[in-house]
Structures are given as C-alpha cells and as structure tokens.
Amino acid sequence: MKQTLLLWVGLLGLTPTLQAQTARTATTIAAETPYAADFAEAYRRYSTVPRGMLEAVAYTQTHIRHITAEETESCMGMPLPSGVMGLFANGKGYFRENLQLVAKLSDVSVEAIKTDPRSNILAYAAAYHRLATERKLSAKTPAKHLPVLLALSELPLEKGAVSSFALDSHLYSVLLFLSKAENQQRYGFPDYRLDLGAIFGANFRVLSAGTTQVSERQVQANGQVFNPDGSVSSATTSADYGPALTDLTTCNYSSRSGTAITHYAIHTVQGTYAGCISWFKNCSAQVSAHYVVRSSDGQVTQMVSEANKAWHIGNENPYTIGTEHEGYVNDASWYTTAMYTSSAALARDIVGSGYGINGLRTFYGAATTGTFSTGACVKIKGHQHYPNQTHTDPGVNWNWEKFYTLVNNAPTVSTLTAASGTVYDAGGASANYADDVRQCQLIAPTGATSVSLTFSSFDLESNYDHLLVFNGANNQAPLIGKYSGTTSPGTLTASSGKMFLELRSDCATNRPGFAASWASTGTSSCPTDSYEANETLAASKALGVNVNNTAYICPATDVDWYKFTSTSTNNNLKITLTTLPADYELELYNASGTLLYSSTLAGTSAETITYNGAPAATYYVKVYGYSGATSSTAYTLRVSTQSTAWRAAQSGAIAQASRLNEREPAVVTITNPVEAGASAWLTVSGYDGPADLTLRDTRGQLAKASIHADIKANEPLSYTLPTGLRPGMYVVALQLQTHVEYVKLLVQ
C-alpha cells in the first residue's frame, strides 16, 4: 500500500536529483526579475558581496522595485526611499541618509543613484564591498555581514528597546530571504545554511513569532526567557491585542479626552515595517498608529495603546484605531495572504473588544485610487474612505472583499438540499430584511449537476445593500454576480451543481428584499447520504472512529470531506477505504489544510493510510473519484485508532517491489529548464512499472492533472507541460507502486 507524505511548505528544500537544475543560466534568472543583469554585474565586480545579498536587501526595502520621485507620499509623513535598493536622500532629521553614504563610498553621483536602477544597484554593491573589505569579510559567510547591513541601513543606530527591535527586524528580514530555498532557486544563490536561531539568540522567538509575555523582571517569548543585556532589541506584550508585540512610543499620541472609539482605519506605510516602527518613535514626526503589520509573515507590533489617540488620520483621530501595513499602494506584492490573515485577526479582536464596532460594517466595495467618504455607517475602512482626507491608502491593490470575508470568517449557513424550492431574503416572504444582516444560504441539491435560480422579486437599497451569488459551495467559489437596487438578476445558473447566496445590508434603510425559485438537474441518479453537504474542508462532517461509515461519490464532481480527533493515548491511526465501486482516492490533512498522506492505487483496490505516533489533534479525510469516477453504490470508510503502532501489511507484487526498491532505490531525473507547452524528458533508474505523474506549484496547488504512465528503467519519458503555465519552480510527483518520488522542474 503506498502512503505519500507531501510537505508542500518545504518542497523546495528537497535535495535535488538533477545536476541540470544546479546549472541555472543567466537567461532564466533574467526572466524572473527585471534587474537580474544588474545584480549579476554587481556580483562580478564586487567579490565580497554574498550572492543573493543584494536581492535580499532590495526585496526587504522595495520588493525589488525602482522607487521614483512620483511614488505616493506616506500618509504618516515618513520619507520615501529611492531606487531598487530603497536608499534615503532625505531622512527628515530622523532617518540616516544612507543614499549620501552610498554615493560617498561608491563615487557615484546622488542623482544617478536616485534616478537610474543600474546605478542604484551598482553603487550600493560598491559601498557594501568597501565596508566588507575593510572588515575582511568573506562572501561565503553572510551571517558575519550584519555590521555592513547596519552601516548601510537608514534606521537610527540608537540604544533602547524600540530602535534595537527595528534594527533586528530589518536584519531578520534580510537573512530570512537568504535562508529560503525558493529564493535560492529563483535568484541563483547558494544555501548558506543560516541558523537564524543562533544568529538572533533569544530574540529569534520574538522576531519570528507574534506573542510575548512580560512580568516585572523578565520577558518571555514562546517560553524562552529574553535577555536584553545579550541582545540588540527588545519587545513587550500588548495589553490590547494579545498576539501583538508592544513597542509603545513615548510621544506622538495624546488622550482621547473621553471620545468613544467607533471606527477602525487601514493604512499603508509607503515603506518598511522596521522603518515604520522606528519612525513612530521619532518625536519630531508628529505621527503614529496603534499597530503595524509586517508583510512577510503578518507579525503585528503595537505602538500606541488603544485607550490613547494615535495621530494617523487628522481630525478623525479621536474616534479611530489605526493600523499601518508594510508596503506601497502601487505594489500589490506587499499585500500577502499572511498580512491579510493577521490584519483580519487584529480587526476581529477590535470588533470583540466592546467598542461597538460591528465586523459586518467592514467596507467591501471596489478598491480605488482616489478618496471618497463612505459615511459613518461603515466602521472598518481605509484611510481614503474617511472625510477630509487627501491620502489614498491602502489604494487600488487592497482586496476589500477578501478582507471582509476574513474579518467575518464564521458565517451561519443554511443548506437547502431539495431538488427545487424557493428562497427569500432574511425578512422572509412578506417582511423587509433588517439592518446589519449577513444571510448565507447554500443551495446544494443532492447529486445536482446544475442549479438555476429565477427571481420573481428583487428590491435592495441601491449601492448599500447587496446580494452576492457564487457558483459553488461557499463565498470562495467563482462569483456569478453582485446585485443591488431594483433591477432583477433574472435567471442565474450555477454549473457546479451548488449555488451560494450571501445577502449583506448596512446600518440603515430596509427594503422588501427578494424572492427566487430554484430548480436543479442531475438530481435523480444519486442516492442521499447523511454527510452531505461536505464538499470542502471547512464543511467537513464528523466521522465515527473505530466503526464503518458508508457514503457515496455521486455525481462525478462530488468530493467528500470528514473530520475526526485523535487522542494522546490512541495516537496510531489507520484510515481505510474499502468496498470501492470505482477508482476512488484517499487523502489525510491537518487542521491547517496541509496534505499529510495520500493513497492513490489504481482501480478498485482498497486504499490505506497509516500514521503512527500522530499528535493529538483534529484531522481531515478527503475521498474523491479519480478522473471523475463516480457510482451510486456506497463505499466504506473507517478510521481505526489504537495505542500500539500499526504494521503495514504487504503481499504479492507490491511486497516484492518494495524489497527490490530497498536494494536499488529509484532515482528520477528531468531536463531543466523547460518552457510552458514544451516537453521535458523524465528518466527513472531502478524502477520498472506503472506510475502516476502529478505537477504542482510550490504551494501544493495542482498545475496539471495526474496522468498514468508505464515506466521503463533508464528509458526517457516525454512529459508535456500545459500551455500558459506561469514561469517558476514546480514539483513533479511520481506515485510508484511502493512510494512517491519528487523532482523539481523549472519553467521559464
């Protein structure tokens, strides 16, 4: 029985089996970053600069984007950097003006550094080389280059908790970039085997995580005592938001003078996380926000107590809480999933803090470049949405719909499984809907292949209340449409066999709402089981343990998700899928949605996953048909737990193949790089037999459907890539009879 451990988070850290991949060409690198030739020239000229260091600094400062004088000014008055390397010509009396330092050390003019990307990169490299040479540093040991990074940073070199923390945050971001395998592959620099824990000591726990605990005499981060005498930074716990680090500023705030908190404002720094933290401690800046969020991992630092008034939004300061987000409004790459997730968690905490801020009053309209006031009804919104403002952050790249669903992440959903029926707004058939409604309805007729919804009446407050309709089981499915006013949507069709309706109303003006009738097709051929609807991990149904459970994969698009909880006593798990009427597959996930194991035997052979020593936790099981396999006959799923480890049973050809594999491990190679739509040649030595090939990106997302192939040892096999595949690193998984082999594939 094959059992596959897929750790997609760490795939790029796998040891390469291909010599071809290590010989990356300058052409490939150039396709991935517009300044690759300039970085390459800098490394050729200046041998003391560790390869990757320039990209690491540039990514930390600008996401490798040339910042020009036309960049939008920060709403906090924070000075803007220049160029790809993010150098400061004007520190506004607080930041060090490192552009002048770089110009002096490199003998390149200030104007050229500010305006020309190539000069910007080469001048920084020259300055770096000069400082590294003076310190007799080797390019092979970037961990020893921290003094150079500090010397070339714009951050003030001051003692004290906040200044030290800002500096450490900058260094941590640079070295973290160098330590990531995907960056090493993309930009062509070696693995320096950086031990960030050893480099930053006790502060590593503070820099890499968002929780600290403070007592009168000591600080702890993730259970480790923090020693300020042995470190260059310090942090304390937030009394307002538990996961936030606290670096409360001693200036740039004032009393709210009794004004109640009623709103929450989203800002963009127009700079870096470390720079923003440092800037808020500059008493001459006369600006601050309550929180700052880091782009890379969503770490939150609190700068002003919520009880006090931060200075972030002019006349609207007395009644608002404000959060700055690292990055630039013109560059969407800073608005990462980690940032959205962390920022939404912070917003949910504020919603639950007793201020009367309703999460349903989060702005979810279109992102724009300009300013406009939404009115007081919308409580959680951008700087650009408040009255009397000139700044446009967070701007056109902030995904408000995504942020709304993350803030309001636990809606109540009514599921309708009949083949046909009628739906109404939250007011029912005759009454108006109320204020602050979020009504979610899932139309999921059992076995349906298509659902159509025809409106007989429709009347929502125009431009303020909306009905969103999705082609699928939840609000992450493709949007069919967003409707408001009195124009009927007519007849809508969900080709997935499921339709998700979400009604949102604001704080005032109730209307009659809507009435609509649905019909479905394809519902008669599939039997009903008690677990439906369970098409997503979030909709998983509880599974009985140590008992047989029966259900159906019907229709062909059906996917079944289940969940169960293991204990620390019976922590050895065996999941079996038997009495298969068709070719079904079995997968096991953790609570984070990471695929742990899979069993994908061909045909109707029983599938088995064994996980011995599993931590006590909630796990998720996924059952689906291979290539649309379906049947109206039930399968049997059983989760068995026991205190002793399970032994994997082997017999016949599989056992023999396993023994052969132990004597001669399979080795997989593939030609690299390859263009989208072209064919790569894959060769397997030490193995003859069937295999299933699957292509996924580095996040584990499927890039090409699984194909079956018969492998002949040492004979090249043509593997054609989909056209339109985006350039980058991918992973080919080969499911052999006994195990899975992985090989990395670079698409250019």
Three-state SS string over 418-445 comes to CCCEEEECCCCCCCCCCCCCEEEEEECC
5: enclosing H helix or E strand: strand 4-5
Three-state SS string over 585-646 comes to EEEEECCCCCEEEEECCCCCCCEEEEECCCCCCEEEEEEEEHHHCCCCCCEEEEEEEECCCC
Q: Which residues are registered as beta bridge partners of 224? A: 221
**CA neighbor of 471 nearest in space, from 535, 555, 563:** 535
H helical segments located in 137-192: 146-152, 161-179, 181-187
The pair phi, psi for residue 400, each rounded to 5°, is -70, -35
**CA neighbor of 328 nearest in space, from 272, 279, 285, 287:** 272
Q: What is the pLDDT of residue 658?
A: 34
- Which residues of the chain have a pLDDT value below 70? 1-33, 158-163, 209-248, 523-525, 648-665, 698-700, 738
Given the structure tokens 């006031």, which residue do they identify? 373
> Within 13 Å, how many C-alpha atoms sit on residue 536's CB side?
11
Q: What is the pLDDT of residue 501?
A: 98
Q: What is the pLDDT of residue 241?
A: 61
Give, rounded to a whole angstrom, the gap between the first and last alpha carbons of the chain. Answer: 36
H helical segments located in 636-712: 652-663
**CA neighbor of 442 nearest in space, from 433, 431, 453, 457:** 453
**CA neighbor of 350 nearest in space, from 271, 291, 288, 417:** 291
Which residues touch 690 (CB under 8 Å, ≥6 apart)?
602, 708, 709, 710, 711, 736, 737
pLDDT in tens, 62-106: 999 999 998 998 888 899 999 999 999 999 888 889 999 999 899
Q: Show the tokens assigned to 358.
A: 């309703």
Q: Exposure pattern of 302-330 as b/e (b: 16+ CB <10 Å)?
A: bbbbbeebbbbbeebbbbbbbbbbbbbbb
Which residues touch 10 (CB under 8 Å, ≥6 apart)?
181
**Cα 278 from Cα 271, distance rounded (Å):** 11
**Cα 733 from Cα 720, distance rounded (Å):** 14
CA angle 284, 287, 289 (to 5 degrees): 145
**Cα 360 from Cα 362, distance rounded (Å):** 5
- Cβ atoms of 588 and 617 closer than 8 Å: no
Question: What distances in angstroms separate CA 337 from CA 295, 333, 463, one per listed residue?
Answer: 9, 10, 28
Q: Show the tokens assigned to 290.
A: 């309550």
**Cα 505 from Cα 377, distance rounded (Å):** 11
Q: What is the pLDDT of residue 655?
A: 32
**CA neighbor of 267 nearest in space, from 433, 87, 394, 135:** 394
H helical segments located in 180-319: 181-187, 196-200, 203-208, 273-280
- Cβ atoms of 150 and 88 closer than 8 Å: no
In this structure, the strands spanning 667-670 and 679-685 are antiparallel
H helical segments located in 301-431: 337-351, 400-407
Which residues touch 510 (CB under 8 Å, ≥6 apart)?
427, 432, 433, 434, 435, 461
Q: Show the tokens assigned to 297.
A: 């991992």
Q: Show the tokens assigned to 629.
A: 């396999």
- Cβ atoms of 273 and 186 closer than 8 Å: no
User: In what side-by-side order are the strands of the sheet with 224-226?
Assistant: 212-214, 219-221, 224-226
Which residues touch 421 (CB under 8 Å, ≥6 apart)?
517, 518
- Cβ atoms of 685 and 714 closer than 8 Å: yes
Q: What is the pLDDT of residue 689?
A: 82
Q: Show the tokens assigned to 492.
A: 């809508």
pLDDT in tens, 147-173: 889 889 998 876 666 667 778 889 999
The helix/strand count (H/E) of the chain reads as: 16, 38
User: In what side-by-side order are the strands of the sheet with 548-551?
Assistant: 548-551, 635-642, 572-578, 607-611
